[in-house]
Structure 1
Amino acid sequence: MSLDNMNLTGHFLIAMPNLTDPYFAKSVTFICTHNQDGAMGIVINRPTDMSYETLFEKINIKLEDTAIANDPVLYGGPVQPERGFVLHEPFGDWDSSITINEKTSLTTSKDILEAVAVGAGPKKLIFSLGYAGWTPNQLEQEIVQNSWLSVQAKDIETLNKILFETPHEEQLNAAISLLGFDPAMLSDVAGHA
């Protein structure tokens, strides 16, 4: 895949050991869009101290679905950390969503939260504050500089298991396992033949 037509939409980005930026060290980012305008994703393995219950109180929505009340809100990235992003399956008829693949979407409108609050929203979801963003060709250059590994799940079931069912502290190793080698083999030095 050349840098000119690289499209990592639907891929996991795994931070390499040499990536020491505090926002991204040891992170897994799920890429929601990647095109000529740049890339956008959600860091999926950075839970905050804020629960869904606390978040819903802050936005004045009564959370009636107590099963998710203690789930952590994620730190999705350093861009617009005051804004909420819901990564979810399945689709729905929400005011502001983008389709990532045949089953997964990202929604930023309040109507999804109102539905989730009463148990009528998607059952598989991640709520994050903020996102990770890259300008045109920035992500490609960071990959060339050995900051990231990208990997795509072999199927939607595997993808959604990592996104929605794997504990956050295990998501890094789950994403690395998709590459088919021992995480200890990762080097912080780029090699060129």
Structure 2
Amino acid sequence: MKNTEPRYLRHHFLIAMPQMADSNFAQTLIYLVEHGAEGAMGLIVNRPSGLNLAEVLEQLRPDDEYSPLCRSLPIFSGGPVHTDRGFVLHPAGPSFLATLELGALSLSTSQDVLFSIADGLGPERHLIALGYAGWEAGQLDAELAGNAWLTCPVDEEILFELPYDRRLDAAARSLGVDLSLLSPQAGHA
């Protein structure tokens, strides 16, 4: 008897296939925060927004001074939904005012995590994003069936240690796939 239970991919990477036509997601690597019958939510982890932490903090507390370290910490474009909302993905551990535990990782959405990072109090490993990627019920599943994405379990080294411009290829290589060898034409074998 074939298992017809859906396979949910929380705590996985979505790797955009070369034929991805949607410019919001072309050449992206997405960390899936949630995936279930109600839909999915993730953060693009390889597309810097051009902003840094100091520029964001200056909007929150304009009279404070921010270190050169804050000026070197990039803010990522997490996705096209609610681009005015901030998310900090970090290893589980310290909880902040608004923290969702995701197992090995946590997602914090309150300002206190940003000020903690700016003050050098951590979390030491983090990814800060504005906006998120969202899918309605069944939408991501249809995209997966249409070969728009590859998936693999999250590798925290790829997420937190690699430069952003190497993350997509590294995630694909973890599956033994070289994206440069794939055709941008969609199809099914």
Distance in 1 (alpha carbons) for counterparts of 2:139 and 2:145? 10
The within-5 A match list for 1:152-171 is 152-153=153-154, 159-171=155-167
User: How has the CA–CA distance of structure 1 residues 2 and 127 changed in structure 2, closer, same or farther, with 3 Å as cutoff?
Assistant: farther
The 8 Å contact of residues 74 and 128 in structure 1, kept in 2 or not, is answered as yes
Per-residue CA deviations over 1:33-53 (Å, capped at 9, x if unaligned) read 112221110000100111111
User: How has the CA–CA distance of structure 1 residues 44 and 63 changed in structure 2, closer, same or farther, with 3 Å as cutoff?
Assistant: farther
User: How has the CA–CA distance of structure 1 residues 152 and 63 changed in structure 2, closer, same or farther, with 3 Å as cutoff?
Assistant: farther
User: What amino acid maps onto 1:163 in structure 2?
Assistant: L
Between 1:35-44 and 1:114-123, the stretch displaced more is 114-123
User: What amino acid maps onto 1:169 in structure 2?
Assistant: D
How far residue 5 of structure 1 moved from its aligned partner, in angstroms, is 2.2
2:116 is paired with a residue whose SS is: helix
What is residue 156 of structure 1 aligned with on the other side?
Answer: none
The within-5 A match list for 1:29-178 is 29-60=30-61, 62=64, 64=66, 66-102=68-104, 104-153=105-154, 159-178=155-174
User: What amino acid maps onto 2:85 in structure 1?
Assistant: R
The 8 Å contact of residues 73 and 129 in structure 1, kept in 2 or not, is answered as yes
Distance in 1 (alpha carbons) for counterparts of 2:167 and 2:56? 23
How many residues are matched? 186
TM-score, normalised via structure 2 length:
0.90
2:122 is paired with a residue whose SS is: coil
Distance in 2 (alpha carbons) for counterparts of 1:48 and 1:54? 12
What percent identity do the matched residue pairs reach? 35
Distance in 2 (alpha carbons) for counterparts of 1:93 and 1:167? 26
TM-score, normalised via structure 1 length:
0.88
User: How has the CA–CA distance of structure 1 residues 93 and 147 changed in structure 2, closer, same or farther, with 3 Å as cutoff?
Assistant: same
Distance in 1 (alpha carbons) for counterparts of 2:66 and 2:169? 34
The 8 Å contact of residues 92 and 103 in structure 2, kept in 1 or not, is answered as no
User: How has the CA–CA distance of structure 1 residues 21 and 118 changed in structure 2, closer, same or farther, with 3 Å as cutoff?
Assistant: same
Which consecutive residues of structure 1, in runs of 5 or more, have no partner in the other structure? 154-158
The 8 Å contact of residues 152 and 178 in structure 1, kept in 2 or not, is answered as no
Give yes or no for the alignment of 1:190 onto 2:187: yes
- Root mean square deviation, CA, Å: 1.9
1:40 is paired with a residue whose SS is: strand
Distance in 1 (alpha carbons) for counterparts of 2:22 and 2:171? 20
How far residue 149 of structure 1 moved from its aligned partner, in angstroms, is 0.9
How far residue 174 of structure 1 moved from its aligned partner, in angstroms, is 0.7
User: How has the CA–CA distance of structure 1 residues 6 and 25 changed in structure 2, closer, same or farther, with 3 Å as cutoff?
Assistant: same
1:39 is paired with a residue whose SS is: strand
2:72 is paired with a residue whose SS is: coil
Which consecutive residues of structure 2, in runs of 5 or more, have no partner in the other structure? none
